[in-house]
Amino acid sequence: MSMSETLELVSENRSFGGWHKRYRHYSRALDCDMIFAVYLPPQAEEGRVPLLWWLSGLTCNDENFMQKAGAQRLAAELGVAIVCPDTSPRGTAVPGEHGSYDLGSGAGFYVNATQTPWKTHYRMYDYLVEELPSVVRLRLPVNGRESISGHSMGGHGALILALRHPGRFRSVSAFSPMVNPMECPWGKKAFTHYLGDDVSSWRQYDACELVANGASRQRLFIDQGESDQFLEEQLKPERLEQVCQEHDHPLTLRRQPGYDHSYFFVASFIEDHLRYHAEHLYK
């Protein structure tokens, strides 16, 4: 077993008849130790179960979703495991890593950085496409059926991973995702630092661009709060709506009146998403 497949159990908590566990492992892609969390439903004690990936947003780590979304109840009922990766490399001592909440630590944006000083560690795309899935499939009782979801920056991550890998995820959903990071302040800042000034290299990480130019026709299921404080400047779901309409890409976009960007919003609708994914995972 190679180093990257060695898992150290950080903590475990019994939860809804299953287990919430946190593991530490060395990531080759990121060249640092990483922690991820998994919820294993009770069914995982009898055999292998399908898996939902959850990608979190800016400033989060593996803990936010597991503590705040209330997903374990449904995952236990439906027999679905959930893995929550961290949102960036950690403790890499890259200059500027801790300078702002929307760049560096806690803000990996699920891309492979090509620019100095980020390119040596900030390779979350590779980490999530190749390395962590290999570890999870090898070491956890999962059966290879996978879906993906996420929130905000993590919604962006879920959409681009699904759009770039048709057939890999049985279903994809997102809460309040950055659908067009090339054209919003958060995305422009991060992509400039991680990918440089050549915007043609940004398109592979932009859901609107991937819908316009991609091979996937997988339905995108999105919940967006109408009172989200980031709606107009950063999230702009109408852009995805328009490009999906132009390119005949299936989209279910629900606007939820009164809801904001917080996990109170995610928790309110996580049941719909988990039931949606379970339908596809058990089909």
Q: In the complex with a second copy, which residue's Cβ is closer, 97 or 228?
A: 228
SS (H, E, C) the chain: CCHHHCCEEEEEEEECCEEEEEEEEEECCCCEEEEEEEEECHHHHCCCEEEEEEECCCCCCCHHHHHHCCCHHHHHHHCCEEEECCCCCCCCCCCCCCCECCEECCECCCCECCCCCHHHCCEHHHHHHHHHHHHHHHHCCEEEEEEEEEECHHHHHHHHHHHHCCCCCCCEEEECCCCCHHHCHHHHHHHHHHHCCCHHHCHHHCHHHHHHHCCCCCCEEEEEECCCCCHHHHHCHHHHHHHHHHCCCCEEEEEECCCCCCHHHHHHHHHHHHHHHHHHHCC
Q: In the complex with a second copy, which residue's Cβ is closer, 118 or 263?
A: 263
Catalytic site includes residue 98: no
Q: Provide, rounded to whole angstroms, the least separation between the CB of residue 73 and a second copy.
A: 7
Q: In the complex with a second copy, which residue's Cβ is closer, 52 or 244?
A: 52
Catalytic site includes residue 126: no
Q: In the complex with a second copy, which residue's Cβ is closer, 217 or 254?
A: 254
Considering the candidates 147, 228, 273, 277, report the single residue annotated as catalytic. Answer: 228
Q: Which of 88, 98, 100, 154 is nearest to 124 (CA)?
A: 88
Q: Identify the residue whose tokens are 């422009």.
A: 188
Question: Any residues with CB less than 8 A from the CB of 135 and at least 6 apart, and which?
Answer: 4, 5, 7, 25
Q: Provide, rounded to whole angstroms, the least separation between the CB of residue 271 and a second copy.
A: 8
Catalytic site includes residue 176: no
Q: Provide, rounded to whole angstroms, the least separation between the CB of residue 152 and a second copy.
A: 15
Q: Provide, rounded to whole angstroms, the least separation between the CB of residue 76 and a second copy.
A: 9
Residues near a second copy, by CB under 8 A: 13-17, 20, 67-68, 70, 72-73, 225, 227, 256, 258-260, 262-265, 267-268, 271
Q: In the complex with a second copy, which residue's Cβ is closer, 14 or 283?
A: 14
Please count the other Cβ atoms lying within 10 Å of the Cβ belonging to residue 274.
26
Considering the candidates 20, 151, 156, 261, report the single residue annotated as catalytic. Answer: 261
Q: In the complex with a second copy, which residue's Cβ is closer, 38 or 94?
A: 38
Q: Provide, rounded to whole angstroms, the least separation between the CB of residue 265 and a second copy.
A: 7
Considering the candidates 152, 171, 173, 216, report the single residue annotated as catalytic. Answer: 152
Q: Provide, rounded to whole angstroms, the least separation between the CB of residue 13 and a second copy.
A: 4
Catalytic residue numbers?
Answer: 152, 228, 261
